Every structure is written in structure tokens, then in C-alpha cells.
């Protein structure tokens, strides 16, 4: 593959989201990412959503641009093959990422015996090595108690997994830079819950609870500490309007024609809605009805013209079907996307990397491989095995 990481080789032992998404990010920028799976596929190989013939679009989405091999991971000979791949010589090789238990033959100490400058990024659930997944991490962070208006409401986006995957990719690049400067390898430990805890701490949630001793209230679809929420239009469409800056707020006021009402409210309350973001939040019960009344009297077409004319930050609520069929951002009008022919499921809209380097050729994103598609190729190219040796491994059901 072409890209800023061309030449780098990463061996990946993974499942689900965090580790595979990190490897995919590296692959889409040119790294040769070789994912190994047990023969027949790992625990995520048939994860929903599935096509009518039970091909996992989830698995394909997370493994674009990689090479795939199938190995009997329970056999000593299969374990030796993976060890040899992960610790193969060369300045751009010797990089291994995994969210499998890094114990026994897959431990850093065991692998490092075969290459002293090995780079290994090991993802765990919690920092102590205990098990956690996105759903169990998120329920402990307090967000389900802040979402909606009643009960516990879990989000459907595996946000911590995705952020963890990108953090793992950064870990690979940071460790590779260190090795290129010092010659030293690294064991990089990354806990999913630490990624989430770092994020909520950055946003002030941990300090808020510790220093203020308060539980943030549920506020439905309003934006905490600012002006922003969903509003229904005359034709039943629903939009999100946001004002987190003075310019955005003055645009909302002008578009909705409520300058007099807002000025009177400021005089009554002593609040400054233009210069103080939090003042808009303090007066939501008075400001929201003004904007809601304006929205209720206009269709989407009418509202969009008025809002755009004032530079208002807004968006339309739409389903995923509408996103794919109507939104130019999710189409080949966006250079990130291309229609790619995937061997097992056919042609569909596929993104390349969102990062765009000026010197990097923006080639069409590659498809996900068939499971084990590159087994023979990798064994020959990376390990230098002969056709006879590879045939013996097939006959012995060590590889597939």
C-alpha cells in the first residue's frame, strides 16, 4: 500500500473494536497490517450486522486494508509461526498489537526472547488486567445517569473502544519513533477503562464530582452549560441548534427574530447572553420557548434558509438510511469515500482515513480481506517458507 506509513509491518492479534480499529488506521496510511485469526475465524468474525448470507459487515468494516491469515493457535507449531511473524527481523518489523490475554507464548517476555527490540501494544480491560468491555466501562462513568430524563440510558456508540483503538495507533507510532532513535523496544500497556477515565477527566467530570461534590442533573437534550437542543419544525422534521459562542448566539437571535425579547429578558434577569455562555444555560427555560415557537412555524426548507443566512450552527436529525441516501458528506462527493468491491459482499461505500496528508496519495480505500486470504503469501514473503513447507502446514491443518 502507499501512504506515509508504507514499509511498516504490524502483526495484529485482535477481536471486536479497540485493537482492530487501531490496526485499520495504520493500514489505511500504508502500513502492512497482518491480522491473524484462529482457523474458521475468531469470536468477532460473525458479529452483526450480517448480510443475508451471514457475512459480517462489522468484521469487514474494521479490517479494511489488512492481510489475513488463519492459524491453529492452539498448536505449538501454529504458535511458533505467529511468534516468528511478530518478531521477524527488519527495521520496520517487530511490531505486535493485541487485545488477547498477553500471557504464556503471547507475553512480551516470551516474544522478546526472539527479538530484543520488539514493540508490543497490549490492550486490556482495566489497568490491573481484569476484564472490561465498552459497555461495562461506560456504565461506571456516570454518563447513563446524565442521558435522557429518566432511568439508565446507555449510548449505542462504543466510544471508548474507538478512542482506545486510536490511542493504540498513537502508541505504536510513539514506540516506533523511540526505537528509531534509541534502538530500544517497548511494552506499551493500554487499558480501555483508563482511556475512558482520561477522557471524562479531560472534560472536567472527575474534578467536578471531587471538588464540588455534586451530581450533574439530567437535562434531556439540552447542552450542559450552553445553549443547544433539538427543536421540532412545522413539517415534523427535527433539528439541532447550537450556540456555544457569541457569534453563534447572535446568529440564532437574528435568524429567529427575537432580539427584542432577548434584550428584555437580559434586562429583567441581569444576565448577558451574548458574552457569557453559561448565562444562556441559566435561562434555558425562557430562551428555549422563543426558539421553539419560531421553529414550530417553519418547515425544514424555510428554517434552513433563515439559519444559513445568519451562519447558525445547526443540523438535521436523520436516520442512517437517510444519511446514506441524502447526505453528500456520506457519498463519493466526499473524497474520503469510494465505492469499493468487497470480495464476499459486493460493492458499497467505503471510507479511507479521515486524516489527509498533503504528500499522501489519496487512493481508493482497500477492501477487507477474506478470512485467511493471505496465509500462503505471508508465510512465503515474511517467513520465507517454501511451497512444500506451506503445503505441509495445510495438510497438517496448522494453517488455512
**Active site positions, annotated:** 161
**325 Cβ contact partners less than 8 Å away, ≥ 6 residues apart:** none
Give the C-alpha separation, 34 to 205, whole Å: 39
Give the C-alpha separation, 335 to 380, whole Å: 35
The neighbour count for residue 35, using CB atoms within 10 Å, is: 26
Answer yes or no: are the C-beta atoms of 326 and 352 closer than 8 Å: no
Give the C-alpha separation, 250 to 310, whole Å: 8
Radius of gyration of the chain (CA): 26
Burial 193-221, CB ≥16 within 10 A → b, else e: bbbbbebbeeeebeeeeeeeeeeeeebee
- By DSSP bridging, strand 227-232 and strand 238-243 are antiparallel
CA atoms within 13 A on the CB side of 215: 9
Vertex 89, ends 83 and 93: CA angle to 5°? 80
Q: Which cell goes with 214?
A: 455534586
Give the C-alpha separation, 173 to 97, whole Å: 12
Please provide residue 96's backbone torsions phi and psi, each rounded to the nearest 5 degrees: -130, 130
Answer yes or no: are the C-beta atoms of 46 and 16 closer than 8 Å: no
Helices (H), the chain: 18-28, 57-62, 76-86, 108-112, 134-140, 159-182, 192-202, 205-207, 246-256, 259-269, 277-282, 284-296, 300-309, 320-326, 375-381, 387-395
CA distances from residue 292 to 143, 149, 287 in whole angstroms, order as listed: 27, 19, 9
Amino acid at each position: 500500500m502507499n501512504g506515509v506509513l508504507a514499509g511498516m509491518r504490524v502483526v495484529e492479534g485482535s477481536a471486536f473494536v479497540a485493537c482492530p480499529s487501531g490496526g485499520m488506521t495504520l493500514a489505511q496510511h500504508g502500513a502492512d497490517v497482518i491480522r491473524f485469526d484462529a482457523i474458521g475465524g475468531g469470536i468477532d468474525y460473525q458479529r452483526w450486522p450480517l448480510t443475508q448470507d451471514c457475512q459480517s459487515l462489522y468484521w469487514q468494516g474494521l479490517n479494511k486494508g489488512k492481510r489475513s491469515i488463519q492459524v491453529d493457535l492452539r498448536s505449538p507449531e501454529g504458535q511458533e509461526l505467529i511468534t516468528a511473524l511478530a518478531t521477524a527481523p527488519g527495521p520496520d518489523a517487530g511490531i505486535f498489537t493485541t487485545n488477547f490475554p498477553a500471557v504464556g507464548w503471547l507475553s512480551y517476555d516470551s516474544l522478546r526472547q526472539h527479538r530484543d527490540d520488539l514493540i508490543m501494544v497490549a490492550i486490556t480491560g482495566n489497568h490491573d488486567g481484569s476484564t472490561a468491555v465498552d459497555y461495562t466501562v461506560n456504565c461506571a462513568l456516570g454518563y447513563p445517569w446524565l442521558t435522557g430524563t429518566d432511568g439508565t440510558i446507555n449510548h449505542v456508540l462504543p466510544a471508548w473502544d474507538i478512542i482506545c483503538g486510536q490511542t493504540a495507533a498513537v502508541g505504536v507510532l510513539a514506540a516506533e519513533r523511540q526505537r528509531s532513535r534509541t534502538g530500544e523496544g517497548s511494552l506499551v500497556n493500554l487499558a480501555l477503562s483508563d482511556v475512558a477515565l482520561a477522557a471524562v477527566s479531560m472534560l472536567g467530570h472527575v474534578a467536578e464530582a471531587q471538588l464540588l461534590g455534586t451530581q450533574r442533573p439530567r437535562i434531556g437534550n439540552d447542552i450542559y452549560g450552553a445553549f443547544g437542543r433539538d427543536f421540532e419544525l412545522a413539517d415534523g422534521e427535527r433539528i439541532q441548534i447550537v450556540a456555544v459562542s457569541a457569534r453563534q448566539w447572535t446568529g440564532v437571535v437574528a435568524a429567529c427574530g427575537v432580539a427584542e425579547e432577548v434584550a428584555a429578558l437580559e434586562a429583567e434577569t441581569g444576565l448577558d447572553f451574548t458574552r457569557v455562555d453559561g448565562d444562556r444555560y441559566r435561562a434555558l427555560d425562557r430562551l428555549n420557548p422563543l426558539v421553539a415557537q419560531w421553529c414550530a412555524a417553519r418547515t425544514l426548507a424555510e428554517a434552513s434558509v433563515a439559519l444559513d443566512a445568519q451562519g447558525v450552527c445547526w443540523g438535521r436529525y436523520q436516520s442512517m438510511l437517510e444519511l446514506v441516501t441524502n447526505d453528500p458528506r456520506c457519498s463519493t462527493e466526499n473524497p474520503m469515500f469510494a465505492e469499493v468491491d468487497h470480495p464476499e459482499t459486493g460493492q458499497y461505500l467505503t471510507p479511507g482515513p479521515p486524516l489527509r496528508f498533503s504528500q499522501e496519495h489519496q487512493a481508493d480505500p482497500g477492501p477487507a480481506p477474506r478470512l485467511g486470504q493471505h496465509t500462503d503469501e505471508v508465510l512465503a514473503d515474511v517467513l520465507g517458507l517454501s511451497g512444500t513447507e506451506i503445503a505441509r502446514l495445510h495438510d497438517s491443518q496448522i494453517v488455512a
